[in-house]
Amino acid sequence: MIVVFLDSNVLLSSLIGSAHSPPTVLVDWLVGREDITLATGRCCIQEVERNIAKKLPQALPIWEKFLSTASVRIDTCPRTPVTGINAKDMPVVAAAIVTHAAYFVTGDKRLIAEMHAAKIQSPQAVTPREMLEALLALG
């Protein structure tokens, strides 16, 4: 079973992005697959909900329906220090590490660069497009 951890920006983009955007295609593809566990952190859920409430409150029912039907595993976001990761993103990265995710999917290229510079190999930090390419390679 492969665990794929989604950052809040990917979740939000999949909700409000175009039908053909990499985050939307990725989440649509991952939901319901038996060989993949879709995971995120409680802190990511809270960030998405804050952004929806502030910028697009009419999307809240869609978000709630997604959470209730998509079988997304929601894990805690520990305050465990992660060397080389900025304080704002540290709980999210720590959550992905403690969930034993194989992949950490984010649209934040700065965070991906931090994770690479910090030599965090598991989870592998990738963009939604890179995750789609990895899934295609797995078959």
What's the pLDDT at 32? 80
Alpha-carbon distance 1 to 6, whole Å? Answer: 16
List of residues 6+ apart from 67 with CB closer than 8 A: 45
What's the pLDDT at 105? 98
Q: Which residue has the tokens 């592998």?
A: 124
Domain interval for residue 103: 2-138
pTM over the 0.85 mark: yes
Q: What is the pLDDT along the chain (139 residues), one digit of tens a residue?
A: 899 999 999 999 999 889 999 999 999 989 888 899 999 999 999 999 999 999 999 999 999 999 999 989 999 999 889 999 999 999 999 999 999 999 999 999 999 999 999 999 899 999 999 999 998 887 6
Residue 129 maps to which CATH number? 3.40.50.1010
Q: How many domains does the chain have?
A: 1
